[in-house]
Amino acid sequence: MSEQQLARYTYLGPEGTFTEAALRAFVGSEHVRTDPSTDVVSALDAVRGGRADFAVVPMENSVEGGVNVTLDTLASSAEPLVIVGEVVVPVAFVLAVVPGTALSQVRRVSTHPHAWAQCRGWVGRELDGAVHVPATSTAAAAAILADRGREAGFDAALCSALSAERYGLEALAEGVADNPHAVTRFVVVSRPGTLPEPTGADKTTLMAHLPDNEAGALLDMLEQFAVRGVNLSRIESRPIGDSLGRYSFSMDLEGHVAEERVAAALIGLHRVCPLVRFMGSYPRWDRVAPHVAPGTHDADFVAARTWVERIRTGQV
Amino acid sequence: MSEQQLARYTYLGPEGTFTEAALRAFVGSEHVRTDPSTDVVSALDAVRGGRADFAVVPMENSVEGGVNVTLDTLASSAEPLVIVGEVVVPVAFVLAVVPGTALSQVRRVSTHPHAWAQCRGWVGRELDGAVHVPATSTAAAAAILADRGREAGFDAALCSALSAERYGLEALAEGVADNPHAVTRFVVVSRPGTLPEPTGADKTTLMAHLPDNEAGALLDMLEQFAVRGVNLSRIESRPIGDSLGRYSFSMDLEGHVAEERVAAALIGLHRVCPLVRFMGSYPRWDRVAPHVAPGTHDADFVAARTWVERIRTGQV
Amino acid sequence: MSEQQLARYTYLGPEGTFTEAALRAFVGSEHVRTDPSTDVVSALDAVRGGRADFAVVPMENSVEGGVNVTLDTLASSAEPLVIVGEVVVPVAFVLAVVPGTALSQVRRVSTHPHAWAQCRGWVGRELDGAVHVPATSTAAAAAILADRGREAGFDAALCSALSAERYGLEALAEGVADNPHAVTRFVVVSRPGTLPEPTGADKTTLMAHLPDNEAGALLDMLEQFAVRGVNLSRIESRPIGDSLGRYSFSMDLEGHVAEERVAAALIGLHRVCPLVRFMGSYPRWDRVAPHVAPGTHDADFVAARTWVERIRTGQV
Amino acid sequence: MSEQQLARYTYLGPEGTFTEAALRAFVGSEHVRTDPSTDVVSALDAVRGGRADFAVVPMENSVEGGVNVTLDTLASSAEPLVIVGEVVVPVAFVLAVVPGTALSQVRRVSTHPHAWAQCRGWVGRELDGAVHVPATSTAAAAAILADRGREAGFDAALCSALSAERYGLEALAEGVADNPHAVTRFVVVSRPGTLPEPTGADKTTLMAHLPDNEAGALLDMLEQFAVRGVNLSRIESRPIGDSLGRYSFSMDLEGHVAEERVAAALIGLHRVCPLVRFMGSYPRWDRVAPHVAPGTHDADFVAARTWVERIRTGQV
């Protein structure tokens, strides 16, 4: 296959980010072209504009929660994108320094604010009094430190082991994370087209606005899932943006829109919500098949529809 | 039209019952053949066996509640019947006697137990100490009294004015009912075939079994209606018959199975209930159109289905 | 103990009814005074008027459903009564005749309409063409037959074995019931006073009116039970009586009002229903303890209330 | 009043932040001592440690959503704090520069990431190609720019008008915000003690964990509010932190824990959730009284409890 025919991936850069690690995990041994973007918005714009086929961006972190810029940018666009895959990667940081720097010399530490939040306890114990210098990504902190050294304005970067290695830094400490089980979930995004085939272990991502000023509107929305036996594996509120108290909800459902119960829930949601956006049905990273409750298998829906169709033609 | 081509109606007889009055109200000026049946089971069997096209039977009374034999016979049959119409008639009784009988001579009063229940207060005031002699119908009491006179074993019948007139009895008292607003609802039943056309003001009658031994099963069933905005105008429990604590529910929904929200509710019900029987969609006697909540009009269902169909083909 | 001090029971008579059998099962070896009433209303009036301490009346049958006169009379009175116990007895009929009568001679059969309904299949097979002569109770049919013989107007009575024996009739057939597992549940009623002690396996009986003209009112009522983990073992609708479409619900809850979850559900019900009537907490006949869901034990309620009380005083 | 007796407030500093503006709006003409903290965690720690009586910190923004560090720090502490007040302030930015700088010279812009997100559209139009330099707060960006000038590493700060003024910068542009209606909500936090008195227009803030691995757990939690007529004005999910898919929910209820319906909902929540944290009942900034549904006024709860108490003592 020529270089021109390879799938083109962009990702939240620079090189060495956890996002790049997620991309590598996703494509495995497939040969692809990769090109970092400076931020999530740019990565998604590259796909919209046709400069990339796929973008890999962070969606949620087990410590910090949803990545707002991803949730909002995916949900709000006039040119919709869809999620076609997900990757979950463990998050572990190293304290990266210019080779030769001692721990006692580290006074200012640069990293992304989310990373800082996840290492706060460790920093308090090991680098008491150290100050945070915000960076746009963990890898950016590493890149700047490697590039400018003492002129960087900080002494160390909290970044991935991959970043430290790629930028020629030394890892003074490893496994620097308050929660050793922390993971980040990344999504692979493309322009709409063919849906990924259902695998039996899929997720469907949606965004829905609630009706205004209706007590119980969230309850009513959740009932639409419950009566079809559809479980939610994620729900996050996002402000609609023009006032406090108005929310949209970003959700992951267990199942694929090709499955009857998911399709039925979406139909119900479309009826009761002023706005619903479908954002993809795709295989789960953990390949765990959902529990499908009695009466909610595809065959149950088909049998029930057939029964009603017969009734409508006068056969009881 | 020849006599042979007239529609053949049977009804809960004998002649002069409230059921016959309901039949007359239902057919209006149409010429039909009528033939009384001795009881509800026989009337319904006549339709099943092809000896009648329609049966008119009592369904519920505003004082006494559902008529068990009608509910159970309609719901349980191997050869299903469907309701194609309803009639609501006011219920007012007369105290009918052999002409010449004085009120002070009335010691034993015959009538159907439901009628007796509806006149208990009046009897207590006006005929203190009078004894009830059960009859299979109010008209039967009148017929027996007219036929046997003093040998009937009772002195008066509580029946319709029509019965008293038809059997040549004298109405010693009129308007004999504890509740002057009491009404009885009758249904017109036929073999399955073409459904009555939706009129915009229809009812759908169902019978459903609940899943065994599940706390909350009734709640789950009602949720299937609520999420599609379908209202119930009647719900009655009936024992399933093999033990206490197991119930089927007989229900009337506001709407016609040709309407999307009703069809969707039936599909949901079919999935969650071990047994559902459709018993007809037919015009309401009062012609009151139901309130259709936002998001539950036919167009809302069609738009939502179209949206999901587009998603399934990769268009977002 | 003197005769004057014995508890005085009345029951739906005459002697020999299933109700008398239920009374005997309930009191066991206790010495009591018994006195039959002619109907359910009279039995309950005897307790209200102080002429009896307890009344035993039928409440529901596994084939025919609720006994309307009992449900309505208990629920509607200005002078409330409460249920203090229940008894469930199997229902099996005999075909009782004047000794010497042959099966082939039986053309007219008298019994209570509920009993007739429960034997319809057997009668159809064994006494094809036999006509029903309604009686006020199964025992009344037996008593009349024994008293009048050929002048009774019928040839046989469907009644309990006890009735046949007591009235000196011959059982031409036994086990006459379409459903061999049929049972009837009776309740023991007294004037209000001390509640029966909770036993851990109790029922609470209620009657509640729904708010008018509110779609979803039944669902809302059931939610009041669901959120406190209270299960219903019986629910029956009864017309409120002044029009079709308005219902009260007669219900049995699993548990005793002395238990927190039941009390909480009653409090909720009282808030949302225009009328609620408490009709007793009493031991279950089958002594089966209910499943109490996590978070709904008495201790959970007490802990939660204590927590809120602390919050209200500024302790978090 | 001596300086020593003045209430001591800390807030998310440095001087000139929107948070300081919120503090000023909250205290009005009251004389208080104020002392900025470097971050939210430090501000809350100052209250816990007794170095301040109150901390003012941002809670949510109408564009960016919840402020995670505030939600998480308030919810997770072993030494609980409570919210005693709220303030909502409009958010409008100025583009602040060292006096004499021209718009065309602005290539690098520093501000807090949330502020950057809210001005992204404006920056795209007016400063195409400008790069974001993250700062720990909008005021910090202004302070650094004023302090270091050209050595700051950026050319302009997006900050409040108050910041620009206080740090002697020049506002090159005003009203710099993509959404002119954007507001931020701040909360005033203290150690537990006396609850603010109910005013009739209050909020109650809670954090609750859902039971693990239970489909429908969120629905069940929301039902606890719905059956008591308690509305939510905010709900946000936060990861519990040890894996994806486990959430806690941060919520604001309409009403004060001193009100019956709110107390009842909290009792229900405590029973069904493995962890619930009360985080304060306090007056709403907008003073809008909630709609209290029929059956959920304090008097309804009191009447219902009284009724059940009477039942429990044998009075029906």
In degrees and rounded to multiples of 5, residue A23 shows phi and psi of -55, -45
What is the value of pTM for the model shown?
0.91
CATH number for the domain harbouring residue A137: 3.40.190.10
User: Looking at CA atoms only, how far is residue B78 from chain A in angstroms?
Assistant: 11
Is D215 in the same domain as D315? yes
Is B122 touching A (CB cutoff 8 A)? no
Are A249 and A205 members of one domain?
yes
D198 part of contact set with chain C, CB < 8 Å: no
Chain B residue closest to A279 (CA)?
B316
Q: How many CB pairs under 8 A join C and D?
A: 93
- Closest by Cα among B195, B187, B255, B185 to B225: B255
At residue C169's C-alpha, the angle toward residues C168 and C173, to 5°, is 145
On whether both D125 and D160 belong to a single domain, the answer is: yes
* Best CA proximity match to D15, nearest among D229, D158, D210, D166: D166
Q: Please tell me which of the candidates A65, A69, A237 has its beta carbon nearest to residue D68.
A: A65
In a domain, D47, yes or no: no
Across chain C, what does the average pLDDT equal? 92
Three-state SS at D69: helix
Q: What is the dihedral sign for C-alpha D130, D133, D135, D141?
A: negative
Both tokens assigned to B147 = 């036929």
Domain contains B75: yes
pLDDT tens, position by position, C24-64: 999 999 999 999 998 898 999 999 999 999 999 999 988 88
Tokens of D100: 């004499």
pLDDT of residue A9: 98
Cβ within 8 Å, pair C132-B136: yes
Q: Contact A267/B308, CB-based, under 8 Å?
A: yes
Which of B263, B251, B256 is closest to B289 using CA atoms? B256
**Chains C and B touch, using 3 or more CB pairs below 8 Å:** yes
Same domain, residue pair C187 and C41: yes
Q: What six digits make up the tokens of D120?
A: 């992204």
A76 in contact with chain D, both atoms CB, cutoff 8 A: no
Q: pLDDT 10s per residue in chain A (316 long)?
A: 566 789 999 999 989 999 999 999 999 999 999 999 988 989 999 999 999 999 999 999 888 888 888 998 998 767 899 999 999 999 889 999 999 999 999 999 999 888 888 898 899 899 988 988 888 889 999 999 999 998 898 999 999 998 999 999 999 999 898 888 889 999 999 999 989 999 999 999 999 998 775 668 899 999 999 999 999 989 988 888 777 778 899 999 999 999 999 999 999 999 999 999 999 999 999 999 999 999 999 999 999 999 999 999 988 7
Tokens of B108: 């034993």
Interface of C with B in 256-295 (CB under 8 A): 291
Sheet strands side by side (includes B275-283): B232-239, B247-254, B202-209, B275-283
Residues 6+ apart with CB under 8 A from B313: none
D296/C271 CB distance under 8 A: yes
End-to-end, the C-alpha distance of chain D in Å comes to 60
**Is B172 contained in some domain?**
no
C-alpha D75 chain-centroid distance: 12
Q: Which of A67, A62, A32 is nearest to A250 (CA)?
A: A67
Helix (H) or strand (E) holding D149: none
Q: Is the pLDDT of residue B211 over 90?
A: no
Q: Reduced to 3 states, what is the DSSP secondary structure of residue B49?
A: coil
- The verdict on C155 and C187 lying in the same domain is no
Q: Which residues of B touch C245 (CB under 8 A)?
A: 233-234
Alpha-carbon distance of C118 to C114, in angstroms, equals 6
Q: How far apart are CA B184 and CA B18, in angstroms?
A: 9
The per-residue pLDDT for D194 is 87
pLDDT of residue C191: 95
pLDDT (tens place) for every residue of chain D, 316 residues total = 566 789 999 999 889 999 999 999 999 999 999 999 988 989 999 999 999 999 999 999 888 888 888 998 998 767 899 999 999 999 889 999 999 999 999 999 999 888 888 898 899 899 988 988 888 889 999 999 999 998 898 999 999 998 999 999 999 999 898 888 889 999 999 999 989 999 999 999 999 998 775 668 899 999 999 999 999 989 988 888 777 778 899 999 999 999 999 999 999 999 999 999 999 999 999 999 999 999 999 999 999 999 999 999 998 7
Q: Chains that contact A by 3+ CB pairs under 8 Å?
A: B, D
- Cβ of B212 under 8 Å from any chain C Cβ? no
Q: Other CB atoms closer than 10 Å to residue D159's CB: what's the count? A: 33
- B183 chain-C contacts, CB cut-off 8 A: 243-244
Rounded to the nearest 5°, which phi and psi values hold at C219?
-60, -45
Query: What is the model's pLDDT at position B181?
Result: 87
Inspect the interface and report whether the beta carbons of C134 and B134 lie closer than 8 Å. yes
CB–CB of A223 and B226 under 8 A?
yes
Residue of B nearest to C234 (CA): B245
Strands (E), B255-311: 275-283
Residue B3's pLDDT is 66
Cα–Cα dist C96/C174, whole Å: 9
Which pLDDT tens digit goes with each residue over C92-129?
Answer: 899 999 999 999 999 999 998 888 888 988 998 999 88
pLDDT digits 0-9 by tens, B282-308: 999 999 999 999 999 999 999 999 999
Chain A positions in Cβ-Cβ contact with residue D65 (cut-off 8 Å)? 68, 237-239
Per-residue pLDDT reduced to its tens digit, B268-288: 999 999 999 999 999 999 999
- The pLDDT value recorded for residue D206 is 96
CB-CB under 8 Å, D272 with C295: yes
Tokens of A182: 């922390």
Mutate to test the interface with D, among C223, C271, C276 (most CBs of D within 10 A): C271
Q: What is the pLDDT of residues B226-277, one digit of tens each?
A: 999 999 989 988 888 777 778 899 999 999 999 999 999 999 999 999 999 9
| CA-atom Rg of chain B in angstroms | 23
How far is the C-alpha of A299 from the C-alpha of A295, rounded, in Å?
Answer: 9
Counting CB pairs under 8 A, whether chains C and A reach 3 or more, is no
Going across the sheet that includes A131-134, the strands are A131-134, A108-111, A156-159, A94-97, A170-173
Clarify whether residues C67 and C108 are in a common domain: no
Both D216 and D311 in one domain: the answer is yes
* Residue B283 is assigned to a structural domain of this protein: yes
CB B17 within 8 A of CB B141: no
The answer to whether D204 touches D263, Cβ cutoff 8 Å, is: no
Statement: residue C1 has pLDDT above 60: no
- Give the pairing type, strands B275-283 and B247-254: unpaired
D 5-34 → A contacts, CB under 8 A:
none
| Two tokens, residue D75 | 């919810």
Task: Report phi then psi at A11, rounded to 5.
Answer: -160, 165
A277, A304, A315: residue with CB nearest B271: A304
Higher pLDDT, A43 or B121: A43
**Per the domain annotation, does D153 fall within a domain?**
yes
- Over residues C261-287, the mean pLDDT reads 96
Question: Does residue B62 belong to any structural domain of this protein?
Answer: yes
B62 with C239: Cβ contact below 8 A: yes
- Give how many domains chain A has, as a whole number: 3
Does the pLDDT of residue C171 top 90, yes or no?
Answer: yes
Task: Identify whether residues A38 and A126 lie together within a single domain.
Answer: no
Rounded to a whole number of angstroms, the distance from the CA of C246 to the nearest CA of chain B is 8
A17 and A141 housed in the same domain: no
Query: Which residues lie closer than 8 Å to B63 by C-beta, 6 or more apart?
Result: B91, B117, B118, B178, B179, B182, C239, C241
The Cα–Cα gap between A52 and D108 comes to: 27
Q: What is the structure's pLDDT at C76?
A: 77
Angle between helices A68-76 and A40-48 (to 10 degrees): 30
Distance from CA of B267 to the nearest CA of A (A): 5
Asked, as a colleague might, if the bond just before B274 is cis with ω within 30 of 0, I would say: no
Tell me the CATH number at B288. 3.30.70.260
B268 and B289 inside one domain = yes
Residues B160-199, buried b or exposed e (16+ Cβ, 10 A)?
A: bbbbbebbebebbbeebbbeeebbbbbbbbbbbeebbebe
For chain B, the straight-line distance linking the first and the last C-alpha, in angstroms and rounded, comes to 60
**Rounded to an integer, what distance in angstroms lies between the CA atom of residue B234 and that of residue C135?**
31
Query: What residue spans of chain A are helical by DSSP H?
Result: 18-27, 40-48, 68-76, 113-118, 120-126, 138-148, 161-166, 217-226, 260-272, 298-312
**CB distance B250 to B280 below 8 Å:** no
Sign for the CA dihedral angle at B16, B21, B24, B28 comes to positive
Regarding whether C187 and C54 lie in a shared domain, the answer is yes
Residue from the list A68, A179, A215 with its beta carbon closest to the beta carbon of D65: A68
CA distance B58 to chain A (A): 22
CB-based contact B140:B20 (threshold 8 Å): no
Please check whether residues C9 and C87 belong to one and the same domain. yes
CB pairs under 8 A between A and B: 93
**C189 and C47 Cβ atoms separated by less than 8 Å:** yes
A262 to chain B, closest Cα gap in Å: 10
Residue type, A34: T
Q: Which of C209, C222, C181 is nearest to C277 (CA)?
A: C209
Q: Residue D192 has what pLDDT?
A: 94
| CA pair distance C262, C256, nearest whole angstrom | 6
Contact call for A244 and D183, based on CB within 8 A: yes
- C304 or C151, greater pLDDT: C304
Give me the DSSP letters along C224-253. HHHTTTPPEEEEEEEE-SSSTT-EEEEEEE
Evaluate whether A111 touches A141 at the Cβ level (below 8 Å).
yes
Q: Work out how many CB contacts closer than 8 A connect B with C.
A: 108
- How many other CB atoms are there within 10 angstroms of residue A281's CB atom? 26
- Give Cα separations from C29 to B315, C19, C26, C161, C291 (angstroms): 78, 17, 9, 21, 32
Please name which of D300, D224, D211, D213 lies closest in space to residue D259, comparing C-alpha atoms. D300
Chains D and A touch (3+ CB pairs under 8 A): yes
Residue A186: CB atoms within 10 A of its CB come to 28
Contact B303 A270 (CB under 8 A): yes
- Provide the pLDDT for residue A3: 65
Asked if A263 and B297 touch (Cβ cutoff 8 Å), the reply is no
Domain limits at B117? 94-167
pLDDT of residue C256: 98
Nearest to A185 by CA among A63, A9, A49: A63
Residue of C nearest to B227 (CA): C216
C212-252: pLDDT as tens digits: 756 688 999 999 999 999 999 899 888 887 777 788 999 99
CA distances from B302 to A271, A309, B101 (A): 10, 16, 67
